[in-house]
Amino acid sequence: MSDTTETTGAANAAPVYDIRAILNALPHRYPLLLVDRVKSLEIGERIHAVKAVTFNEQFFQGHFPGRPIMPGVLQIEALAQTAAILAIETLELAGSGKLVYFMSIDEAKFRAPVEPGVLLDLEVGFVQKRARVCKFWGKASIDGKVTCDVQFTAMVADPPQG
């Protein structure tokens, strides 16, 4: 275990990611990296991460002037990035170069606006998992109040050649 991780203390202890470990796991970078810390991770089951939503986020410049609100699609992207970390750990893909791509988004519901200055809790779990295709449930919330819930499917694949 590296100095960038801690253990959950659970029976099936797994690494809990800080930002350095997240940067090693995901290909995303600013301004599209939307996961700041993983609080808990149960391999093969679920993950709880957080996104610190700050006023200096690039999207707040235009969404909306005078009433900054995080776009719902970015809440789903944050949940998808969280799911990618869960899939990477569960399927033992770390260091493989494999990427986790969206395939579908189902039953997305946006229940409350997300404004700057909050910690957005990102909870994701498996609905179904296979070696190449996984289905997830996801829920974003602030202080226990759900802002978004969704189901989505992703596939594991090689990165595009370029």
Contact yes or no for 89/43 (Cβ under 8 A):
yes
Establish whether 28 is a catalytic residue.
no
- b/e per residue, 22-51, with b = 16+ CB within 10 A? beebbebeeeebbbbbbeebbbeebbbbbb
Helix (H/G/I), strand (E/B), else coil: 5: strand
Which of 28, 37, 46, 63 does the annotation list as catalytic?
63
Structure tokens at 75: 């809440």
Active centre residues (catalytic): 63
